Amino acid sequence: MSAPSAQRIFVTGGRGRLASLVADHFRAPAHAVTLFSRQGGHGFHPLESLLEPAVLAGADTIFHLAWSSLPATSEQQPGMEQQHDLPFLEKLLAALATNPATRRVRLVFFSTGGAVYGNAPGRPSREDDACQPVGSYGRAKLAAEQLIAERAERDGLHCTVLRISNPYGYPVPSSRAQGLIPHALRCGVNGQTLTLWGDGSARKDFLYYTDFLSALEAVLAGSFTGTFNLGAGESHRIDEVIRLIEGEVGRPIALQHSQAPAWDVHDSRLDHGKFCAATGWSPQVPLAEGLRRAAAGYAAH
C-alpha cells in the first residue's frame, strides 16, 4: 500500500471527536487540513461556506463526517436528518458538480455499517446485499448514500462511501450516548455500573482506531470510487467484550440490563473483502490487543 501524496483535506463535523481524530492524524506536515463545523469560529470554518466555489476550489478531498444525529438521538428527534443533513448534502453535491471534470474534488462520505444493513443475513454483510435498516439513523444514512450514488453517476462525481463499523480506542466523552467499549472501560476502572442493552448476545464489529486511520490513508492513496465496508472483518458478542475488559481492568463490571431498543442492530457483521482487495489494506490490531491498549490508555489518564 503506497503512501498518499500530500493533499488539501477538508473535514466536516470538525467539532466531533472522530473528526478531530482524523484531522489530527492527517494535518501538516503530511497534508493541509481545514476543519468545518455548523458553527464557525475558533479555528473552524462555517459548514455552509463549503458551498462557495472559491472555498471548494481549495480542496482535493472532503472527509464528510458532519451529521446531526446518533442512532439514539435520531429516534428521539425524528426527521432531523431530513431537515439538516440531506439538504446540505444535496447542495454540496451540486456544488461539486460545478467544478470542471478535470478538477473534481473527491468526496468521502462516512456512512455506517450495521445501521445501514440491519441484521446480518446469517453471514457477514456484503456491499451488494439488500439494505434493511431497522432504525431511522440507518434509513437516513442509506438515503444519503443513494443521493450520492445518483449524483455521482449523473454528474461524474468522484465519491467514495465508507460503511464503517465501530472505531474504538480513542477518548470519547462520558456524555456521548454511543460506544460500548469506552463506557465499559470507564465503568470498570471507576467501579461504576454499566447499563447494558439486552442480554449481551448481540454481535458487533469493532475496529481499532489506528486501523481505521490507516484505512483512510489507503483511501487517499487510491482513486477508487463506490461503496465499501470498513471494519475489522470479525464480530464479537457484547458479553465477550465485557469479559475481556474485565480482564484488563482487573475487576468485574457491575451490569444493569435493560431491554434493547428495537432500532439497535442485534447481529452486525461486515465483510471487508472488497475494501481490502481495492486497497491492499488489512486490520492489524485484534480485539484483545486493542482492548489492552485502550485500557492502558484509559488508566494513564
Is the predicted pLDDT of residue 2 greater than 70, yes or no?
no
CA-wise closest residue to 84 among 74, 99, 72, 71? 74
- Residue-wise pLDDT tens digits, 238-261: 999 999 999 999 999 999 999 999
- Residue-wise pLDDT tens digits, 111-150: 999 899 999 999 999 999 999 999 999 999 999 999 999 9
What was the pLDDT predicted at 181? 94
Which residue has better confidence, 99 or 130?
A: 130
Q: Which residue has the cell 461504576?
A: 192
Mean pLDDT of 43-55: 95
- What contacts 125, CB < 8 A, 6 or more positions away? 113, 117, 229, 268, 269, 270, 271
What was the pLDDT predicted at 235? 97
Grid coordinates representing 13 are 463535523
Is the predicted pLDDT of residue 102 greater than 90, yes or no?
no
Residue 92 · residue 48 · CB < 8 Å: no
Is the predicted pLDDT of residue 30 greater than 90, yes or no?
no
What was the pLDDT predicted at 42? 87
Cα gap 267→120, rounded to integer Å: 6
Residue 114 · residue 106 · CB < 8 Å: no
By three-state DSSP, how is residue 291 classified? helix
Chain Cα centroid distance, residue 111 = 6
How is the chain split into domains, by residue range?
Answer: 8-171+207-233+267-284
What was the pLDDT predicted at 20? 93
Residue 231 · residue 164 · CB < 8 Å: yes
Q: Which residue has the cell 436528518?
A: 81
CA-wise closest residue to 50 among 16, 98, 111, 4? 98
Cα gap 197→57, rounded to integer Å: 46
Residue 48 · residue 91 · CB < 8 Å: no
What was the pLDDT predicted at 1? 57
Task: Give residue 174's pLDDT band: very low, low, confident or very high (50, 70, 90).
Answer: low
Task: Give residue 298's pLDDT band: very low, low, confident or very high (50, 70, 90).
Answer: confident
Is the predicted pLDDT of residue 177 greater than 60, yes or no?
no
Whole-prediction pTM = 0.95
What was the pLDDT predicted at 176? 62
The mean pLDDT of the chain is 93
Cα gap 43→101, rounded to integer Å: 31
Task: Give residue 74's pLDDT band: very low, low, confident or very high (50, 70, 90).
Answer: very high
Grid coordinates representing 49 are 461556506
Judge: domain 8-171+207-233+267-284, CATH 3.40.50.720. Answer: yes
Mean pLDDT of 8-27: 95
92 φ/ψ angles, rounded to the nearest 5 degrees: -65, -45
Cα gap 156→104, rounded to integer Å: 9
